[in-house]
Amino acid sequence: MDTISLILHVTAAAALFGPQILLFFALTPATWFIDDEQLKRNVVSTVARRFGVLSAASILILIITGLYQMQALTPEGATEVKWGSIFLVKMALFVLLMGLMLVHTQYFGKKIRSMSDSVIEGATEVSGDLDYLRRQSWAFSFLMLLVTMVLLWLGVMLGNHSYSLS
């Protein structure tokens, strides 16, 4: 069961991180070439919805397998060596990532959707604001990408017992 839990945990982490890279470096920049606001919104909404489902499933699997591993695989005396500090930082960053994802969805997602509605309805005066908000959202996505990458690195550090248990 331990190996299965580790496999599921790593797979869920990859399923959360991989699409973030694709969205940040490929999809979002590709949408900059779409002038039709309705088409741009449809493309982004479809991808965001699917990414949201994948993210939610990944996060659920990460939490379940992480709790199992914390119970079953935590080395004896782990809190007295680097492992304990690394684990605490990893958990704090995981909570931070959940907060960042919530802010991105609830603030940027809703505000972009509302401004996009206005542009589609003909309110061209907000199109500059919409572009600016999309750039802010993209920069915020970079922060989420960095936090996720550091979480992966910390996971590798935890698994390297010659380092983390020293």
Residue 26 confidence (pLDDT) above 90 = yes
pLDDT tens-digit series, residues 39-56: 999 999 999 999 999 999
Give the DSSP H/E element, type plus range, for residue 95: helix 82-103
Mean pLDDT score of the chain, rounded to an integer?
95
Task: Give the pLDDT of residue 154.
Answer: 97
Residues 6+ apart with CB under 8 A from 69: 2, 5, 6, 9
Q: Which residue has the tokens 């609830």?
A: 106
Provide the token pair at 114: 């509302």
- How does DSSP classify residue 114? H
Predicted structure pTM score = 0.92
Identify which has the larger pLDDT, 126 or 60.
60
φ, ψ at 142 (rounded to 5°): -65, -40
